[in-house]
Amino acid sequence: MPKPVVAIPADIREIEGNVWQATPNQYVRAAVKGADVIPFLVPALESGHDFDEILDRVDGLLVSGSRTNVHPSHFGREATETDGPFDLARDATSLPLIKRALERGVPLLAICRGLQELNVALGGTLANEIQEIPGNWDHRKPDTADLDVAYGIRQEVHVKEGSCLASVIGPGTVRVNSLHRQAISAAAPRLAVEAVAEDGTIEAVSVIGSKAFAVGVQWHPEYWVGSDDPSNRLFKAFGEAVRAYAAGKLAPAMRQAAG
């Protein structure tokens, strides 16, 4: 069977005075090393995508993190000064792609901003600057140029017994990294909360009744694929779901070819 392909929606980035389609290499590396799939970057466009044409060509969807925030208009709020920075093209690409992938049963792993997009795509809302909520922990990216420190594992989350995530990384306490200012405020009706931080912040969800693997995590397993067991397990499970989906797509064609 050919190696399956996983779509990764890109971000718009300004680099050296030009506008780039970009995604951090850690997501590409985790897709290759952790899930054993072929990554396929999908450009961020404010319009013009045919999402079925994209999903016809892939076997999974990996929605990455980003320093930008989902525009509040996507969850019924006016934008304020502190809500940015935004990436309207990323929103316009990833939100409908997530929805259509779920409708078609394409396996989905959503990370950080990706989890927030999954929630918004299914009708949930987000809270901003959550570190300012009394009693909350500071979940923001540490102020350092050293990525190993920024993505350092430094927070405990509790994975719920019997959850989809628990079947992958085990129930109970798991240590993760944390690089976010926003979080799920109202979880979408179709989301099951699967892990929470000690301050109650939602740290992982799965899609109730999904046709395939559909998990979102607020932390960054992609960064430590190769050395961190829960990260390895999560990407391995995603890769297995993608291969099962790809095999299911191939089956009718193989039956037809066999006559």
Ligand X SMILES: N[C@@H](CCC(=O)NCCCC(=O)O)C(=O)O
Residue 85: asked if its preceding bond is cis (omega within 30°), the reply is yes
The structure tokens listed for 151 are 């993505």
Which regions of 169-248 does DSSP assign to beta strands (E)? 172-176, 183-184, 191-197, 202-207, 214-217
| 68, 85 Cβ separation under 8 angstroms | yes
CB of residue 169 vs ligand X: minimum separation in angstroms? 20
Nearer to ligand X, 112 or 169 (CB): 112
Question: Could you give the CA distance from residue 250 to residue 52 in angstroms, rounded to a whole number?
Answer: 17
Active site residue 14: no
| 87, 12 Cβ separation under 8 angstroms | yes
Active site residue 220: yes
In 3D, which of 122, 72, 71, 123 has the Cα closest to residue 100? 122
Q: How many residues bind ligand X (CB under 6 A)?
A: 12
- Is 9 near ligand X (CB under 6 A)? no
CB of residue 40 vs ligand X: minimum separation in angstroms? 20
Nearer to ligand X, 84 or 248 (CB): 84
Nearer to ligand X, 126 or 246 (CB): 126
Active site residue 161: no
Among candidate residues 49, 71, 112, 180, the one labeled active-site is: 112
Among candidate residues 117, 194, 203, 222, the one labeled active-site is: 222
- State the binding string over 137-176 for ligand X (x if CB under 6 A, else -): ----x-----------------------------------
Catalytic residue annotation: 112, 220, 222
